[in-house]
Structure 1
Amino acid sequence: MLDFVIGMTICVLASIALIEGGKVVGVKIGLSQRMVFFVIGAAGTSLPELMSGLYGVFYSPIPDLSIAVGNGLGSNVCNVTLILGLIALATMVFTKQTYVEIAPKQSIKEAMDLLVFFSVFFVIVALTKGFIPVWLNILLICFYIFTVYKSNQLSEVEDEEEEVPNIALPVAILLILISIAGFYFAGDFVVSGVQSISDSMGIGSGAVAEVFSAIATSMPELITALIGIFWFKDKEAGLATLTGSTLFNSTLVIGIPGIANTVLTGETYQMSNENLMFTLPMQFVALVLMIKFFENGKFAFWEAVALVLCYILYSFMVLGVVA
């Protein structure tokens, strides 16, 4: 419990540092203000997933890519169900309303559309082959770069002038580095606490990554989104962070460790039963639901509750399969 509290405290401080530093650096490298959350915020908060995946490949007695795939897929399901639902509920409590108005910019909508299209392609390849080929890992990384480039072009047209923190560039870079280190150590604290529980339940590493570790490593996204909404008064911060994180998890969190695993072992990753039966279909359904909410323009209380309940049901299904 103490590890969890320490980890969450670090997450809060790291999120503030990441947003403040990211706004300054984003302007310098040509990112619009919205893309700061979409790229820098999402990458920083998704670092625990990527690092734990690389750790499983490089430092396990036998290179284990199941952690990377479990983190990437499991964190996405967590992001667009549990985390999105909790953000919506928290916003309703804060505004004292029974709904949340959502009107994401075209750049965010297009990123989600591209992600759904690529997810369909990924699911087809995974289901037909039963494994993730090397060329698909390379394509995942290329798709991330293309989507960020395309979304930033649209976002530059959409964004209005926003106040940039009066922080020197070297200090801003230092803040980002500190925040990334903070997320790394925070994830380590939270995951260690969660994994001790899963060990006592006798659950395998793939299921741990898809359920317990996915929840733990998604906490930075939740904290960053809430701070962006309530502290920095940016209503789209949560959507931009979640969308960017979902893109990062779908591509780099799986693709980079996947290439490393192939280089080390010469083998490709065989998809597990829980990957094929539940996580891949659930990720696709969750992404489609998220786009549907965007189109409606409103997020009702019952929809937020339904997303949270969906994740709880999904968790029991995955753990039941493994058990």
Structure 2
Amino acid sequence: MLLALAAVVAGLALLVWSADRFVEGAAATSARLGVPSLLIGLLVIGFGTSAPELVVSAIAASDGNPGLALGNAYGSNIANIGLILGLVALVSPLTVNSSVVRRELPLLGLATLVSALFMLGGAFTRLEGGILLLGLAAFIGLSVAIGMKNGRDPQAIDSEALVENVMSLRAGLTWTLIGLVLLMASSRVLVWGAVEIAEGFGVSDLIIGLTVVAIGTSLPELASSISALRRKEHDMVLGNVVGSNLFNTLGVVGLAAIISPIEVGPDVLLRDWGVMTALTILLGLFAIAWRKGRPGRINRLEGAVLLAVYCAYTALMVYLVISAARA
């Protein structure tokens, strides 16, 4: 058990570091190749911060632990909105200006509902995983088309600071490759440790994925959100979270289901999907501009509500782990 705990801690630390190097290298490479700043912010950085979830879930599914893959994806979504946005809004209320964010929120809601329909059948099949991946591909295509047509969205402006004085193309490619290799290695160590802990406590790998692994793989989003907040780039904060959740819902779950179909119990739909959906709805309500002519705004009280929901959910997960260990 001590070795497994050490593997999780070391795996998470290396995972966060390698993900940061991967995103920096990929962003620099994209900038050197002339990719518009909007697409770098939306796709390379927004989705790049979800690389830990993707790699961890793919390895977990290939190792015969699809529950860990699903828990990682949904747990990360819950942490992104409840923990990250909740904390950030408590520190500084967030102004919602970006049309990109307003466009992505309804798509996130639709993807969440489609996932529920698939779970009603008791599992994510390979066919359903393929449908989710096609949905992600369609979203990426739409984002590229819109980004190329209109690159002066507030999120595009926010992204420009991230591509100034970037490293050389050679250095960018090098760090992208190093980050990717270390992502794979650290993810394998993390998955092994998480599975060992789950077996030691007598809980499902789903629970471990929803808690420890989900929080760890969400750290890149937390780091990028804090960095964007310090630069007062509110749309970048929201874009990171919404884009990451879309990627998790469609890409991470879709890829894991193709590798190994994911059985889903009714508790996942009622508890985990329910909390994730509730937080998504709250985010949408808070981000809407209720007064005409004024931007949307997530204030400190609303941030506290998001954080309170996350804390209550986490307390429930801890209770389940303790109960399983005692049994």
Q: Please give the secondary structure, in 2, of the residue aligned with 1:164.
A: coil
Query: Is 2:75 aligned against 1:74?
Result: yes
Identity %: 22
Instruction: Specify the alignment match of 1:209 in structure 2.
Output: 209
Per the TM alignment, residue 29 of structure 1 is displaced from its structure 2 partner at its CA by: 5.9
Instruction: Specify the alignment match of 2:48 in structure 1.
Output: 44
Residue pairs, 1:15-54, within 5 angstroms: 17-18=21-22, 20-27=24-31, 31-54=35-58
Task: Please identify, of 278-287 and 150-159, the stretch whose mean Cα deviation from structure 2 is larger.
Answer: 150-159
Instruction: Specify the alignment match of 2:268 in structure 1.
Output: 275
Paired with 2:54 and 2:137, the residues of 1 have a C-alpha distance of 16
The answer (yes or no) to whether the contact 1:144–1:251 under 8 Å persists in 2 is yes
Could you tell me the TM-score, scaled by structure 1's length?
0.80
Instruction: Specify the alignment match of 2:258 in structure 1.
Output: 259
Q: Please give the secondary structure, in 2, of the residue aligned with 1:102.
A: strand
Query: Is 2:165 aligned against 1:165?
Result: yes
The answer (yes or no) to whether the contact 1:7–1:189 under 8 Å persists in 2 is yes
Query: Is 2:187 aligned against 1:221?
Result: no
The letter for the 1-side match of 2:116 is: V
Q: Please give the secondary structure, in 1, of the residue aligned with 2:93.
A: strand
Paired with 2:62 and 2:192, the residues of 1 have a C-alpha distance of 19
Per the TM alignment, residue 33 of structure 1 is displaced from its structure 2 partner at its CA by: 1.9
Paired with 2:12 and 2:61, the residues of 1 have a C-alpha distance of 26
- Of 119, 123, 135, the match for 1:131: 123
CA distance 1:25–1:210, shift in 2 (3 Å): same
Query: Is 2:316 aligned against 1:317?
Result: yes
CA distance 1:198–1:257, shift in 2 (3 Å): closer
Per the TM alignment, residue 207 of structure 1 is displaced from its structure 2 partner at its CA by: 0.6
Instruction: Specify the alignment match of 2:145 in structure 1.
Output: 153
Instruction: Specify the alignment match of 1:64 in structure 2.
Output: 65
The letter for the 2-side match of 1:58 is: S
Query: Is 2:112 aligned against 1:112?
Result: no
Instruction: Specify the alignment match of 2:59 in structure 1.
Output: 55
Instruction: Specify the alignment match of 1:87 in structure 2.
Output: 88
Structure 1: 5+ residue stretches without partners: 93-98, 262-267
Per the TM alignment, residue 123 of structure 1 is displaced from its structure 2 partner at its CA by: 0.9
Could you tell me the TM-score, scaled by structure 2's length?
0.79
The answer (yes or no) to whether the contact 1:45–1:183 under 8 Å persists in 2 is no
The answer (yes or no) to whether the contact 1:23–1:164 under 8 Å persists in 2 is no
CA distance 1:220–1:101, shift in 2 (3 Å): closer
Per the TM alignment, residue 168 of structure 1 is displaced from its structure 2 partner at its CA by: 2.2
- Of 95, 100, 104, the match for 1:102: 95
Deviations 1:149-176 (A, max 9, x none): 2123333412359363243222222233
- Of 279, 292, 295, the match for 2:285: 292
CA distance 1:113–1:107, shift in 2 (3 Å): same
Residue pairs, 1:174-185, within 5 angstroms: 174-181=174-181, 183=183
Per the TM alignment, residue 208 of structure 1 is displaced from its structure 2 partner at its CA by: 0.7
Deviations 1:192-227 (A, max 9, x none): 887787666443211110122111111121112222
The answer (yes or no) to whether the contact 2:101–2:235 under 8 Å persists in 1 is no
Task: Please identify, of 47-56 and 285-294, the stretch whose mean Cα deviation from structure 2 is larger.
Answer: 47-56
Paired with 1:12 and 1:207, the residues of 2 have a C-alpha distance of 21
CA distance 1:19–1:131, shift in 2 (3 Å): closer
The letter for the 2-side match of 1:101 is: L
Paired with 1:68 and 1:194, the residues of 2 have a C-alpha distance of 11
* Number of residue pairs aligned between Structure 1 and Structure 2: 304
The answer (yes or no) to whether the contact 1:85–1:305 under 8 Å persists in 2 is yes
CA distance 1:15–1:235, shift in 2 (3 Å): farther
Task: Please identify, of 64-73 and 193-202, the stretch whose mean Cα deviation from structure 2 is larger.
Answer: 193-202
Structure 2: 5+ residue stretches without partners: 290-295
CA distance 1:187–1:42, shift in 2 (3 Å): farther
Paired with 2:200 and 2:304, the residues of 1 have a C-alpha distance of 29
The letter for the 2-side match of 1:125 is: F
